[in-house]
Structure 1
Amino acid sequence: MPNAHTMARHLLFSACLFSIAACTSNLKASPPPAALAPLLGSISERLTLADQVALTKWDSGKPIQDSPREQQVIAAAARLAPGYKLDADDVSRFLAAQIEANKLVQYALIAHWHAAGKAPDSARPDLATQIRPRLDQLQVQLLQDYAAFAPYRQAPDCPEWLGQQRARLAKDTVHDLALVRATGELCIQTK
């Protein structure tokens, strides 16, 4: 049985090899397609709107979970999918991920505000007349951007592209985690 010193050397050697492989794979990664930045920008914008949605839910006391509205949004996107040459099931999963990421932001913010005993003193746009119409417009933009990126989803470099581009959009822990959730299924790894 190897002693602790030998095991430590093996672990260090393995870590070095892993680091070299990781660096080498990053050097080999092709540049991200131009279609990725607009898609991530639209996703990030939708997550920023979650802050305003959270404020309206805080003020109204309404629950974050709104299953009927979520189903409407997903069904509407699925109906539009063929017009963008997208599969309706893929679009449904993509929109469901956006909604889950949005709720992640809302839950985190409202929990933080409960802990602080108050929400921020900022403007409160109306959910029905201001925020939802913007979300509906953004949904069309998301579908356009998703369709433009769709040919790259199976590219071997897709996960590296996402990691690099998400790092550029870093805002705070909550929004960063939500961005990971929103993009978690963008890349399709085939084996």
Structure 2
Amino acid sequence: MQLTTSMRRALVAGAAATALLTGAGGAFAAPAAPPVTAPAAPSVAPSVAAHSPYGRLRPLAALSAERLASGDLVAAAKWGTGAPIDDPVRERQVLDAVAAQARQLGADPAATMRIFRDQIEASKVVQRGLHRLWDADPSQAPDERPDLGEIRKEINRVNGELVRAVAASPDARSAPSCRPLLAVNAAHVRHERRLDALHTVALARALRSVCTAYAAPAG
């Protein structure tokens, strides 16, 4: 594959981001150090960047982080209720819905479901982490319980945008450059949103199967 100048710059930045966000086994891993400034994005015109592999992967990282923010609210809604974090019925509904939307868009439903399984597991990482924190220090627990039904409406909205981002990025997700470019995007999202260690771990989990060459096999 012939790389453009912008692609080369992104791959150079990706080397640093990969060191930050990937482990020896090839999966993203949370860094032990505090957050650092993300590598510089490739210097290209916005109209070009939006249609480049880098630009097509950007929404996947950004929407994954947005979806994880809803995990905080889900954790608060379930806190103190005895409701389990695992919800197989709800998970099946989500997977069926995104697979149906992927078919409507002409996207690969199996790949879409694989990515969303990771999204669901990433949300559980956030929920479990917050419940452990609140168990250890009740003073940090939420004072109010959000409406889980309203939260799920927002999650469904993000899910729809994320399915469209998956459908718009098959070439970028299958390219050899996917992993370093996704790592650059993840590092930028982490920096912009000032993600803590818990949410950095969760973002890594959410993005595990985005690059098809590295996608985990369906279970």
- The structure 2 residue matched to 1:154, chosen from 158, 162, 174, is 174
How far is the alpha carbon of 1:123 from its aligned partner? 4.9
Deviation at 1:76, TM superposition (A): 1.2
Deviations 1:25-78 (A, max 9, x none): 627989553222222111110001100000011132211011111011101111
Q: Residues 39 and 149 of structure 1 are in contact (CA less than 8 Å); yes or no, is this contact kept in structure 2?
A: no
SS of the equivalent of 1:48 reads helix
Counterparts in 2 of 1:161-180, with a 5 A limit?
Answer: 161-170=181-190, 171-180=195-204
User: Within 2, Cα distance between the matches of 1:125 and 1:115?
Assistant: 21
For these two proteins, the number of residue pairs brought into alignment is 166
Query: TM-score under structure 1 normalisation?
Result: 0.79
The alignment status of 1:142 with 2:162, answered yes or no, reads: yes
How far residue 101 of structure 1 moved from its aligned partner, in angstroms, is 0.4
- Whether the 8 Å CA contact 1:43–1:179 is kept in 2: the answer is yes
The structural deviation recorded for 1:89 is 1.2
1:20-169 counterparts in 2 under 5 A?
Answer: 26=12, 31=42, 32-121=53-142, 123-128=144-149, 130-169=150-189
Task: Using the aligned pairs only, state the percent identity.
Answer: 36
Q: Residues 121 and 27 (structure 1 numbering): CA distance in 2 closer, same or farther, change over 3 Å?
A: closer
Q: What amino acid is the match of 2:105? A: Y
User: In the alignment, residue 174 of structure 1 is paired with which amino acid?
Assistant: L
Instruction: Sort the Cα spacing of 1:188 and 1:149 in 2 relative to 1 into closer, same or farther, 3 A.
Output: same
Measured against aligned partners, the alpha-carbon deviations of 1:97-146 in whole angstroms (never above 9, x if no partner) come to 10000011100110111011344345532001x10111111111111111
Which amino acid counterpart does residue 34 of structure 1 have in structure 2?
Answer: G
Rounded to whole Å, the distance in 1 between the matches of 2:185 and 2:97 is: 28
- Is 2:217 aligned against 1:186? no
Higher relative contact order (CA closer than 8 Å, sequence separation 6+): 2
Name the stretch that deviates more: 25-34 or 171-180. 25-34
- Runs (4 or more) in structure 1 with deviation over 6 Å come to 27-30
Structure 1 unmatched ranges of 5 or more: 1-22
Residue type of the partner of 2:70? L
More helix by percentage: 1
Q: Structure 1 residues 104 and 27, CA, compared in 2 at 3 Å: closer, same or farther?
A: closer
Question: Would the alpha carbon gap of residues 135 and 78 (structure 1) be closer, same or farther in structure 2, given more than 3 Å must change?
Answer: same
Flag the structure with larger Rg: 1
In the superposition, the TM-score normalised over structure 2's length comes to 0.69
8 A contact 2:126–2:202 mirrored in 1: yes
